[in-house]
Amino acid sequence: MSALFTPITLRGVTLPNRIVVSPMCQYSAERGEATAWHMIHLGQLALSGAGMLCIEATAVEPDGRITPADLGLWDDVTEAALKPVLAAIRKHSPIRVAMQLSHAGRKASSHVPWEGGQLIPVAEGGWQPHAPSPVPHKESEAPPLALDAAGLARVREAFAASTRRAARLGIDAIEVHAAHGYLLHQFLSPLANQRTDEYGGSRENRMRFPLEIFDIVRAQFPADRPVGVRVSATDWVEGGWTLEDTIAFAHELKRRGADWIDVSSGGVSPLQKIPLEPGYQVPFAREVKKVTGMTTIAVGLITDAQHADRLVEEGDADLVAMARAMLYDPRWPWHAAAQLGATVQAPPQYWRSQPREQKALFGDISFGQR
């Protein structure tokens, strides 16, 4: 049997295969509220045959949005806007649905990518970003406000409240976003964190706030549903966060009951130099898994079915998360199953689509017609 299409259980949640649809920002919300775009976007991906679908980075407070069009889950209105989207998915797909909870920190108040992605000044309708330290992401930008004790408390409660809302919505799993240069990654990286209190300086101190947030999310989410963390394994900048730091962080997360670690990289500095190639981040996932024994997700330009299958078969990672490839081909898991001789779940309305040479693709089914 294809390793990619073997089931895996995370606490009380069993996935039929090891394919995860990565959280992908759509910048299509209104005041944080999900829109018809989310119904279409998430709806089609829910029919992909993947084992789990992760909703995009979801801001825990308005100031934590990357852009004014980010999805949020911070009040009754944003919670209500997600209900029909999830109801439609539940009605027509058995896929497990996760959500990535996030705070943008100093990368907040930005234009959407197709409008340049630059910081929006307060005078032009933006808002004042908050961060561990008053260090801008780019030298040309105004510095963010350093979070004081009250600000840290506010962010803690925001993560707690969003977690409770996610649980009420029936979300199956949560991924805490501590990667890609957003707030929790900013606390981890010495490039962004120049605090002199108990949340800055040593690696232990820089890990303190992200670990506090994980503990809060884990405590507020039902015990039988998993909570994982996405990390940037390296900043790709000299003097920044490293793989050695990531392994230390992973050990602490494992001790606290984290159910997986999703190993990405970069995002905290525009000075990063990333050698892009298929699977370029897999060595990080492999090393984290080898040293810590944690359930690990590999990401990064993984587009070939045999490559993905080999990563699981050889123990480089336990799951493979896909983003851009899934947007380009929302039926990627179907095609991978056909190529690897596996079966995949599909709605009965689509059963007639399986090619004649792939009669077992959707399992042992029949489709009569008068």
Instruction: Tell me how long the chain is.
Output: 370
Q: Rounded to an integer, what distance in angstroms lies between the CA atom of residue 275 and that of residue 250?
A: 24
Q: Is 182 annotated as catalytic?
A: yes
Tell me if 1 sits within 8 A of 339, measured CB to CB: no
- 75 secondary structure, DSSP code: S
Q: Which residues pair with 362 in a beta bridge?
A: none
Name the catalytic one among 27, 182, 280, 328: 182
Q: How far is CA 225 from CA 76, 123, 130, 169, in A?
A: 22, 43, 31, 13
Q: Rounded to an integer, what distance in angstroms lies between the CA atom of residue 192 and that of residue 188?
A: 8
8-10 vs 13-15, strand pairing mode: antiparallel
19-21 vs 13-15, strand pairing mode: unpaired
Nearest Cα neighbor of 72 from 159, 191, 196 is 159
Q: Rounded to an integer, what distance in angstroms lies between the CA atom of residue 105 and that of residue 103?
A: 6
- Maximum Cα–Cα distance across the chain: 75
Phi, psi of 279 (to 5 degrees): 70, 25
Q: Rounded to an integer, what distance in angstroms lies between the CA atom of residue 266 and that of residue 273?
A: 9
Residues marked active site are found at 182
